[in-house]
Structure 1
Amino acid sequence: MNTDSYFIKKQPSSEIFMATIVESSKSKDESSKGAPIAILNRTPKTARGQRTRAKILKAAEECFGTLGYHQAGVNDITRVAGVALGSFYSYFEGKEEALRELIREMGHNLRLHLARSVAGSTDRIEAESRGLRAFLQYVKENPWMYRVLQEALFVDEAIYREYYEEFGKSYGEVLDQATAAGEIRPGNNQVRNWMLMGMSHFLGMRFALWQDDLSLDQVTETLDDFLRHGLTSTSGSESE
């Protein structure tokens, strides 16, 4: 998936990638009827096309995030993106497909951002703290992300679930690796990864989106302490 910058100069209309028509493979029955089935291949063929598609998705994120999915129109998206209406349909069948692709792109970009942010961590707890710090900053810089995800729930629940399940799958794998390496104690990592995802989700909503009365470092330090020491009182455990 393309990770080029979304913010590029508007391209001449003559440079716009047009979807090509390709024939699908036909069964013997279809061949005998002489009715080839044409499907649209909207995958950009050039780097310029990839950048234009990414710019449209970024505009869709802003429009869905500020206006809501049902209020935002394709005209709004192309206006914000600075491209012709025909360019949108070169890459997407319609608004619903654009939302699906946007959710997948958002998930990919966020996972890539977090992976880069935790690289070089000495252990899993440090990675969790650095990952949360990076996530909170990402939410600040991408304030429409939460609303777009919520809009997706009521448009296509499958893509909404896919977004979180992809996170859960990769999260579970890194927790299993950390357990095997002795960085965290054994436990049900399938439950743990959803617990950690839930904490990040609501911490992002409260401290990065709604209010910033605490610094991101304060939030991160609290999580780090919680993961290392839990909620059990040390004095209470010693008195027992």
Structure 2
Amino acid sequence: MKKSPSTARGTRTRQALLDAAEQVFSEYGYSDASIVRITERAGVGQGTFYLYFDSKLQIFEELVEDLNRRVRHAMAEHATPEMTRLEREREGFRGFFRFTAEHPALYRIVREAEFVSPRSLRLHYTRIVEGYIEGLKRARDAGEVGDIDPAVAAWALMGVGEMIGMRWVLWGRDEAAGDPADPLASGTDIVPEHVFDHMMQFIERALDARSQSAMPREAEEARS
């Protein structure tokens, strides 16, 4: 059961425990993480932990929820109603990559949730994809994108962002750049601008209503 702090100091302490848990779960994995390690990292006593959380599993699940809330905020932070869907995609991906560069633990923790708390994993992706699907539906109806299946497109776009982020943000953070096919040879912890631009060109071609409408004509010309 979630325990809400009644004071500003309590709110700060609870967040300090979540921040410490992010570091500990990322560093040690769920099995080797412990409440002792979390409280030591947060600089509080073990008794304080139980004022806010009942167990290691509970803080893990609430950490997944906390990271989900913050990454969704980062993705939407710079988007405005006046933007086109493609402009919103660009801003959303920039926000996602900025957040994951600052919180690379997101990848590791979400992957562990598949085994530790499948409910949390499902909640994490559902909360992201629900808004994505609705936004793509509106864009399709407004003619901003082609005649796409919003659900398929949403999951495909999430996959693009996740894998690009893992390749250039998470993996090989301390390695020298090398073979493009080697996932541990990025030599960076940010998505390079040329990578981001090529990714967006790929997405724009996939979603662009003009390219979708041109496809039947091109096919007809090829047959004639």
Q: TM-score, normalised by structure 2?
A: 0.81
State the partner residue of 1:132: 93
- Summarize deviations over 1:193-236 as a string: whole Å, max 9, x none: 0111111110110011112468532222112211222499x9xx
> How many residues matched?
198
Q: 1:220 aligns with which of 196, 206, 209?
A: 196
Letter in 2 for 1:147: R
Letter in 2 for 1:136: F
Residues 197, 95 of structure 1: alpha-carbon distance in 2 compared, 3 angstrom cutoff: same
More helix by share: 2
Residues 217, 120 of structure 1: alpha-carbon distance in 2 compared, 3 angstrom cutoff: farther
Letter in 2 for 1:220: F
Letter in 2 for 1:179: R
Residues 80, 95 of structure 1: alpha-carbon distance in 2 compared, 3 angstrom cutoff: same
Residues 168, 215 of structure 1: alpha-carbon distance in 2 compared, 3 angstrom cutoff: closer
CA contact (8 A) 1:137 1:208 kept: no
Structure 2: how far apart are the matches of 1:197 and 1:215?
16
Which structure has the larger Rg over C-alpha atoms?
Answer: 1
Letter in 2 for 1:117: H
Letter in 1 for 2:202: F
Structure 1 residue 130: deviation in Å?
2.0
Structure 2: how far apart are the matches of 1:172 and 1:230?
16
- Summarize deviations over 1:63-108 as a string: whole Å, max 9, x none: 0000111101101001111111111110100000000100011100
Map of 1:45-194 to 2, 5 A cutoff?
45-119=6-80, 122-194=83-155
Where structure 1 has 5 or more consecutive residues not aligned to the other structure, the ranges are: 1-39
Identity %: 34
State the partner residue of 1:25: none
State the partner residue of 2:3: 42
Structure 1: how far apart are the matches of 2:129 and 2:191?
27
Letter in 1 for 2:170: L
Where structure 2 has 5 or more consecutive residues not aligned to the other structure, the ranges are: 172-185
Structure 2: how far apart are the matches of 1:226 and 1:145?
25
Structure 2: how far apart are the matches of 1:212 and 1:127?
28
1:205 aligns with 2:163: no
CA contact (8 A) 2:97 2:191 kept: no
Q: TM-score, normalised by structure 1?
A: 0.76
State the partner residue of 1:3: none
CA contact (8 A) 2:18 2:59 kept: yes
Match of 1:117, SS state, is coil
Structure 1 residue 121: deviation in Å?
6.2
Return 136-145 or 194-203, whichever deviates more: 136-145
- Summarize deviations over 1:18-74 as a string: whole Å, max 9, x none: xxxxxxxxxxxxxxxxxxxxxx77211122211111110010010000011110110
Structure 1: how far apart are the matches of 2:191 and 2:148?
31
